[in-house]
Amino acid sequence: MKNKIYSMVLGAALLLCAACGGTSTNNAQSNSAAANGKAPKYIFYFVGDGMSQPQITMAEKAISEPGFREQFNKQTCNIYNHDGSALNLRKFPSVGLATTNAENRFITCSAAAATALATGYKTTINTISMNGDRTANLETIAEKAKKAGMKVGVVTSVSIDHATPACFYAHVEDRNMYESIGHWLLKSNFDYFGGGFTRWDKYKDMTKDQFIDSLKIKGYTVTTTRKDFDALNAQSGKVLATINKVTSTKIDGSALPYNIDLDIQQSDDDRIVLRDFVKKGIELLYNEDKGFFLFTEGGKIDWADHANDAISNIYETLALDAAIGVAMDFYRQHPDETLIVFTGDHECGGLTLGFAGTNYESAFQLMQNQVVSFETFGQEMREYIKTNPKFDALLAKLQENFGIGGDGALKLSEYETKRLKDAYLFAKGDKSVKLTDEEKHLFYGGYEPITVTTTHIIDNKAGVEWASYSHTALPVPVYSMGCGSEQLEGYFDNTDIPNTMMRLANFK
Instruction: Tell me the closest approach of the beta carbon of residue 50 to Zn ion, in angstroms.
Output: 5
410-421: string of b/e by CB count within 10 Å (b at 16+)? bebeeebbebbb
Report the C-alpha gap between 273 and 424 in whole angstroms: 35
Shortest distance in whole angstroms from residue 125 CB to Zn ion: 12
Q: Kindly tell me the sign of the dihedral angle through the C-alpha atoms of 330, 114, 242, 264.
A: positive
Identify which of residues 302 and 459 has a Cβ nearer to Zn ion in the complex: 302
Listed ranges 240-248, 276-284, 299-307, 460-468: which one lies at the site for Zn ion (CB under 5 A): 299-307
d(CA 186, CA 169): 10
CB of 109 to Zn ion, least distance (A): 7
> Interface with Zn ion by CB under 5 A: which range of 125-133, 287-295, 300-308, 425-433?
300-308
How many angstroms separate the CA atoms of 144 and 502, rounded? 8
The answer to the question of residue 252 lying near Zn ion (CB under 5 A) is no
Q: Least Å distance between CB 203 and Zn ion?
A: 23
User: How do 151-156 and 192-195 pair as beta strands?
Assistant: parallel
Distance CA 393, CA 242 (A): 39
- Bridge partner residues of 352 (DSSP): 465
User: Considering the rule CB under 5 A, would residue 161 count as an interface residue with Zn ion?
Assistant: no
Per CB under 5 A, which region of 40-48, 298-306, 368-376, 422-430 contacts Zn ion?
298-306
- In angstroms, what is the minimal distance from the CB of 472 to Zn ion? 10
Report the sign of the C-alpha dihedral through residues 479, 368, 75, 374, in that order.
Answer: negative
* Residue whose Cβ sits closest to Zn ion: 302
- Helix segments in 358-486, DSSP class H: 374-384, 391-402, 414-428, 437-444, 449-462
Which residues 41-60 are close enough to bind Zn ion by CB under 5 A?
none
CB neighbours of residue 38 within 10 Å? 17
347 touches Zn ion (CB under 5 A): no
Q: Is 302 in the site for Zn ion (CB under 5 A)?
A: yes
Give the nearer residue to Zn ion in terms of CB position, either 50 or 490: 50
Beta carbon nearer to Zn ion, 302 or 337: 302
Give me the least distance between CB of 303 and Zn ion, in Å please.
7
Instruction: Say if strands 292-298 and 151-156 run parallel, antiparallel, or are unpaired.
Output: parallel
- Per CB under 5 A, contacts with Zn ion among 74-133 are none
Minimum gap (Å) between residue 488 Cβ and Zn ion: 24
Window of 152-160, 200-208, 301-309, 357-365 that interacts with Zn ion by CB under 5 A: 301-309
Q: Which is nearer to Zn ion, 199 or 238 (CB)?
A: 199
Beta strands in 14-145 (DSSP E): 15-17, 22-24, 42-48, 94-99
Give min distance, CB of 77 to Zn ion, in A: 27
Q: Which is nearer to Zn ion, 302 or 493 (CB)?
A: 302
Give the residue with the Cβ less far from Zn ion, 5 or 251. Answer: 251
Residue (163 or 262) nearer to Zn ion, CB: 163
Among 166, 200, 412, which residue's Cα sits nearest to residue 295?
166
144 versus 175: smaller Cβ distance to Zn ion: 175
Bridge partners of residue 294, in order along the sequence: 44, 153
Site for Zn ion (CB under 5 A): how many residues?
1
Q: For residue 501, which of 487, 89, 490 has the smallest C-alpha distance?
A: 487
* CA-to-CA separations, 131 to 1, 112, 119, 210, in angstroms, rounded: 12, 10, 10, 31
Phi first, then psi, for residue 300 (nearest 5°) are: -90, -5
Of 192, 197, 170, the closest CA to residue 111 belongs to 170
State in angstroms the smallest separation of the CB of 22 from Zn ion: 32
Positions touching Zn ion (CB under 5 A) are 302
